[in-house]
Amino acid sequence: MRVLLLGSGGREHALARALHRDPAVTALHCAPGNPGTAGIADNHQLDPTDPVAVTELAERLAIELVVVGPEAVLVAGVGDALRTAGIPCFGPDRDAARIEGSKAFAKEIMAAAGVPTAAARVCDSAAEAGAALAEFGPPYVVKDDGLAAGKGVVVTGDRDAAAAHAAECDRVVIEEFLDGPEVSLFALCDGVHAIPLLPAQDFKRAHDGDAGPNTGGMGAYTPLPWAPDGLVDEVMATVVQPTLDELRRRGTPYVGVLYAGLALTSKGVRVVEFNARFGDPETQVVLDRLATPLAGLLQACAIGGLDPAFRPEWHPGAAVTVVVAAEGYPAAPVKGDAIGGLDEAAQVPGAYVLHAGTALDADGRPVANGGRVLSVVGGGPDLATARAAAYEAVAHITLRGSHHRSDIAL
């Protein structure tokens, strides 16, 4: 199978790695990819959000499966263009991707499908926002309606800060605060049926102890030893399948990964958010444990005919990833600083380093080129071993001004 992967982050390096080790994959191309994917795939310098350019490249390379990483590619209609050209694409059309692209749309789908989620109000003015803040009370949850790379959400006890965030956005969703631990569950969907991957947990705040601003995600681990039995089956039955059914009923069948961000509250499971793509960095740990070849699974979704009873096989044990972020991330990441210690980190047993926001300088040396620079993965027979491997590898990395959390999977 000839595969083209779109995107350039840590998630894409993890996807490329899993696709590369699938014996069915005969050619692996990335656009644009990163210095990490360059070692296992052919990188093509092209804007992955350009539907015409992507379709031309896929045709020129005789691609049999396109796998989309970032949401911006989906929202730009790349899935639509590929399917129109008859090229199988793992990733939904633009209309179905609104499940992530618009928080108000996601709420509408969940209401229609009877999916449990936080009560919410969509507000278009300061007066509406003020009324919703008063209705729900603290802690206040204020979400920019549009895409904001995981940074459009403010959760605060400070009424003025909540109102100020609402005023910064055109349209906001203000909702009930959900207590309880969060779980990310990825379901692979072919438009009709879905199968679950392993649940994972992400660490969204920038600093230890869940302090600091929200980020795209600073680390993750899988599996979740504390998750209740039957959680995955319950989420498939009460969240994923009703959502797929509703999208299909509306004529926008959902093909790709439906990412359910869940809160396990005292009142039961609630959806915090949907994403239309693999989570980053949860994908890094989930794919580390995946034993079933990935390309076949994604192709079954893209062309249809997924067997809903099929369950992927998993390597026993656990995986942990720790994100090394650039100075100033998430507010204003500093680019261009040299990254050292990559070879030493790769020597740590059970660990490896995925490139997330890196580039090569004029001399071919790796430098920081994004907020989340590296995603260091450790695997092992249990969480403690996996965690120790990841942190031992992180300790070898040098990057001026960088920061990482020291409490991932603790």
205-234 residues near ligand GLY, rule: CB under 6 A:
216-217
Report the residue from 150, 180, 312, 340 that binds ligand GLY according to the rule CB under 6 A.
150
**Contact between residue 56 and residue 48 where contact means Cβ atoms under 8 Å apart:** no
What six digits make up the tokens of 178?
């959900």
Please tell me whether residue 128 binds ligand AMP under the rule CB under 6 A. Answer: no
Q: In terms of Cα–Cα distance, which of 330, 323, 386, 410 is closest to 358?
A: 323
User: Which of ligand GLY, ligand AMP, none has residue 144 at its interface (CB below 5 to 8 Å by kind)?
Assistant: none
The mark string for 171-200 relative to ligand AMP (x by CB under 6 A, - otherwise) is ----xxxx---x------------------
**Residue 22 or residue 71: which is nearer to ligand AMP going by CB?**
71
User: Which of ligand AMP, ligand GLY, none has residue 143 at its interface (CB below 5 to 8 Å by kind)?
Assistant: ligand AMP
Please tell me whether residue 88 binds ligand AMP under the rule CB under 6 A. Answer: no
| Nearby residues of 150 by Cβ (< 8 Å), 6 or more positions away | 204, 214, 215, 216, 217
The gap from C-alpha 210 to its chain's centroid, in whole angstroms, comes to 19
Task: Mark out the alpha helices in 260-338 (DSSP H runs).
Answer: 282-289, 294-303
175-201: b (≥16 Cβ within 10 Å) or e: bbebeeeebbbbbbbbbbbbbbbbbbb
Q: In terms of Cα–Cα distance, which of 90, 81, 36, 92 is closest to 57?
A: 81
Please tell me whether residue 280 binds ligand GLY under the rule CB under 6 A. Answer: yes
CA atoms within 13 A on the CB side of 397: 32
Grouping H, G, I as helix, E, B as strand and the rest as coil, residue 308 is: coil
Report the residue from 9, 279, 330, 350 that binds ligand GLY according to the rule CB under 6 A.
279
Q: Which DSSP state fits 152? A: S
The mark string for 14-53 relative to ligand AMP (x by CB under 6 A, - otherwise) is ----------------------------------------
**Residue 138 or residue 349: which is nearer to ligand AMP going by CB?**
138
Please tell me whether residue 282 binds ligand GLY under the rule CB under 6 A. Answer: yes
Other C-beta atoms lying within 10 Å of the C-beta of residue 346: 13
**Residue 152 or residue 216: which is nearer to ligand GLY going by CB?**
216
Please tell me whether residue 95 binds ligand AMP under the rule CB under 6 A. Answer: no
Please tell me whether residue 153 binds ligand AMP under the rule CB under 6 A. Answer: yes
Cα–Cα distance between 395 and 104 in angstroms, integer? 42
Please tell me whether residue 275 binds ligand GLY under the rule CB under 6 A. Answer: yes
**Contact between residue 323 and residue 404 where contact means Cβ atoms under 8 Å apart:** yes
Please tell me whether residue 202 binds ligand GLY under the rule CB under 6 A. Answer: yes
**Residue 1 or residue 224: which is nearer to ligand GLY going by CB?**
224
Q: Kindly list the residues in this chain that would bind ligand AMP in the complex (CB under 6 A).
A: 118, 141, 143, 150, 153, 155, 175-178, 182, 204, 214, 261, 272-273
Q: Kindly list the residues in this chain that would bind ligand GLY in the complex (CB under 6 A).
A: 150, 202, 216-217, 275, 279-280, 282
